[in-house]
Amino acid sequence: MNDKTNKPIYLDYSATTPIDERVVTEMIKYMGPEGVFGNPASRSHAYGWTAEKAVEQARQHIADLVGADAREIIFTSGATESDNLAIKGSAHFNKKRGQHIITCKTEHKAVLDSCRQLEREGFEVTYLDPEANGLVDLEKLKAAMRDDTTLVSIMHVNNEIGVIQDIEAIGNACRERKIIFHVDAAQSAGKIPMNLESLPVDLMSFSAHKIYGPKGMGALYVQRKPRVRLEAQMHGGGHERGMRSGTLATHQIVGMGEAFRIANEEMATENERLITLRNRLWDGLKDMEEVYINGDIKQRVAGNLNISFNYVEGESLLMALKDLAISSGSACTSASLEPSYVLRALGRNDELAHSSIRFSMGRYTTNQDIDTTVAHVRTAVEKLRDLSPLWDMYKDGVDISSIEWAAH
């Protein structure tokens, strides 16, 4: 527990972040009757003009953070919508040219399920296996490219294990084959410096709530030169250059803009601080027996640490750690009892995949939070290992993989 608030310590910043107070202050100005509440598309009065100005300023802040032109930023309801628009919009637009798409098994469900939908429509999709460290092998990606491949979609930072893909190298490979390259950057924008002016990326998805902006708000970068074209998925008043109709949510957009502006200013110092916190957490746990980091430790976003505590089941560990707000890669709450598909794709064995915990730190995480977390985790893992028949067997030198288990 956090001593001051009596709430669990929040270590789930990869799931969502609180809206920064500075962002809240800006957003409120665009809501009430005394505020700038006009429709940014209203051209006939000052209510509309001021709202439009605010929207365009926010668009500029977002463009500035990622080195894009403001005209390349299309507002959406979130990264899920951006992924849908990028993948289905691009695949549909280019379907006469080819109907093959390449992605990776560890992508976010918004990407994977958009691809599944395209498969139902007759497209072919190659789902690459990542390497054991979570990274895509460039040569395997190149080998999967075909003459009818029109789109490659690879995320920048993985939401579960935090690994950073080499999007520059992947993008260059796509350019050579004239394949459109989409990147889901929901977990990387504001955390990793990037310059889209030079990065070979055609489409990039952003989320506001992963970086201290409001939920329900996102954007899609659509490159202008050379121009990338999409088929709209949402039809209506022709907003956002016809790519995404719907009245612009001024307050949400302003919030996203302010959040991205702050991230731009504070990213460098914040990353240093987060790496210190992450090291502090790992230093507190690494001497325990049978703990493993999931995903590459070097090619990794600052605030993420994903650890498997072998022979302890993830859901029971979460239950023991009720004073921490963390998440588990073990989805025992679903009837299927399937562990994280991301960890399975890395080739982690079942016990390790079921034993994983994701710690994601952020702007409001303190040293004290980490120290408390370390103490709680050590106690909980010890308690559950005392309860675990698998731990007993490990201690007795029994090879668990040699046993014939009756799957149920």
Residues recognised as catalytic: 332
From the list 15, 145, 332, 374, which residue makes contact with other proteins (rule: CB under 8 A)? Answer: 332
Query: 203 or 326: whose CB is closer to other proteins?
Result: 326
Query: 96 or 406: whose CB is closer to other proteins?
Result: 406
Q: How many CB atoms lie within 10 A of CB 393?
A: 14
Q: Does 399 bind other proteins (CB under 8 A)?
A: no
CB of 266 to other proteins, least distance (A): 36
Cα 205 to Cα 210: distance, rounded to the nearest angstrom? 12
Subset of 165-184 contacting other proteins (CB under 8 A): none
Query: 165 or 328: whose CB is closer to other proteins?
Result: 328
- CA-based nearest residue to 27, from 292, 208, 298: 208
Rounded (10°) angle between helices 367-387 and 250-285: 60
Q: Does 406 bind other proteins (CB under 8 A)?
A: yes
Q: Does 339 bind other proteins (CB under 8 A)?
A: yes
- Report DSSP state, residue 406: -
Structure tokens at 222: 């659509």
Q: Does 312 bind other proteins (CB under 8 A)?
A: yes
Cα 368 to Cα 347: distance, rounded to the nearest angstrom? 35
Q: Does 21 bind other proteins (CB under 8 A)?
A: no
CB of 141 to other proteins, least distance (A): 30
From the list 25, 247, 279, 333, which residue makes contact with other proteins (rule: CB under 8 A)? Answer: 333
- CA-based nearest residue to 278, from 374, 185, 211: 374
Cα 327 to Cα 227: distance, rounded to the nearest angstrom? 40
CB of 320 to other proteins, least distance (A): 8
Q: Judged by CB under 8 A, how many residues of this single chain contact other proteins?
A: 29
Query: 86 or 321: whose CB is closer to other proteins?
Result: 321
Query: 182 or 385: whose CB is closer to other proteins?
Result: 385
Cα 281 to Cα 200: distance, rounded to the nearest angstrom? 35
Distances (CA, A) of 202 to 207, 244, 383: 17, 17, 50
> Residues 362-391 vs other proteins: string with x where CB under 8 A?
------------------------xxxxxx
- CA-based nearest residue to 284, from 352, 378, 170: 378
The CA R_g of the chain, rounded to the nearest whole Å, is 22
Chain contacts with other proteins (rule: CB under 8 A) = 311-316, 319, 330, 332-335, 337, 339, 350-351, 354, 386-392, 400, 405-408
